[in-house]
């Protein structure tokens, strides 16, 4: 056995090319966290066989999106993704809109948050499992969302909450599936919890070895 860089597929859920900067920031931060990265659009992902994905990648990160899943026209653009995600048997981390897409795919729902939640906010960790290992009970992370996951999908448990959002984080009870409503990739020198979360997904959850 030999160690190698973990191969992470970062899936772009943004609908507009104007969001390229946001997606590129995520890709750069995943690389910085120690991964070999490839990228794919959410429309193209369902064209790949799940076994093909498992052979070529160790984990998947679903990006945020400006789409509103409570808006029918937006939601329809992701229907193929919703049907496809449960077929994947490998680690997945959903970020913001990706967190919401993962929840919908597994039978949860997304509702309007009532107001825009934006900026660095305090999040309380309830289940410091592998993804949230090594972090304090409360962290400061960047938020930018108008919708939230509620209720959680069956067989998922809440891992984090805040005053603004009930379900800031979730994980599947038995599968390596994780979601966070906030943006871990938007960490800075004063608020580095997001960096640890990306590193944990890459180093502790994505496959670490090959023969």
Residues with catalytic function: 96, 183, 185
CA distance 6 to 205: 10
Torsion on CA atoms 162, 166, 169, 174, rounded to nearest 10: 140
* 37 DSSP β-pair partners: 8
CA distance 62 to 14: 10
Place of tokens 């597929």: 9
Which two three-digit tokens encode residue 148? 């939230």
Smallest Cα–Cα separation from 197: which of 120, 134, 119, 143?
Answer: 134
Residues 6+ away with beta carbon under 8 Å from 51: none
Contact criterion met (CB below 8 Å) for 165 and 79: no
């Amino acid at each position: 056995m030999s160690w190698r860089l973990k191969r992470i597929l970062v899936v772009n859920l943004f609908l507009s090319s104007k969001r390229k900067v946001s997606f590129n920031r995520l890709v750069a931060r995943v690389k910085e966290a120690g991964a070999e990265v490839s990228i794919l659009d959410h429309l193209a992902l369902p064209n790949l066989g799940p076994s093909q994905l498992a052979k070529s990648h160790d984990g998947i990160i679903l990006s945020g999106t400006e789409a509103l899943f409570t808006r029918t026209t937006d939601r329809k653009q992701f229907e193929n993704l919703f049907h496809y995600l449960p077929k994947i048997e490998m680690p997945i981390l959903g970020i913001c809109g990706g967190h919401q897409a993962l929840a919908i795919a597994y039978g949860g729902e997304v509702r309007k948050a009532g107001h825009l939640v934006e900026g660095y906010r305090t999040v309380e960790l309830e289940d410091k499992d592998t993804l949230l290992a090594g972090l304090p009970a409360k962290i400061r992370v960047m938020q930018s969302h108008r919708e939230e996951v509620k209720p959680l999908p069956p067989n998922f448990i809440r891992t984090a909450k805040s005053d603004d959002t009930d379900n800031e984080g979730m994980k599947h009870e038995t599968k390596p599936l994780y979601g966070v409503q906030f943006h871990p990739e938007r960490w800075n020198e004063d608020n580095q919890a997001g960096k640890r979360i990306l590193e944990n997904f890459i180093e502790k959850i994505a496959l670490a070895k090959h023969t």
